[in-house]
Amino acid sequence: MREVVEYLAKAVVDTPGAVRVTEKRGPRGTVYYVEVAPEEKGRLIGRKGRVIESIRTIVRAFARGRASVEVR
């Protein structure tokens, strides 16, 4: 699943080499933390949060609701 999150994040930003995805497992599922270059955060989040919300929807569907995505 980490690879899916990384692939989606790299597809959105201009500098895919700066994308880092870490995961942390907890009682409610896995949280994927996406780190990008500071100037790329706006592109990853998107206008009114649409891009990151789309990524979250894809990840939740893939993981059957047991995963979430956060931007750092």
C-alpha 53: how far from chain center:
9
Q: 2-31+40-71 has which CATH code?
A: 3.30.300
pTM: predicted TM-score of the whole model, two decimal places: 0.91
Three-class SS string for 35-53? ECCHHHHHHHHCHHHHHHH
Per-chain mean pLDDT for the chain: 95
Q: What is the CA radius of gyration of the chain?
A: 11
Give the confidence band of 66 by pLDDT, cuts at 50, 70, 90.
very high
* Spans of all domains in the chain: 2-31+40-71
pLDDT digits (tens, 9 = 90+) for 5-40: 999 999 999 999 999 999 999 888 999 999 999 999
Quote the CA–CA distance of 9 and 21 in Å, as a whole number: 9
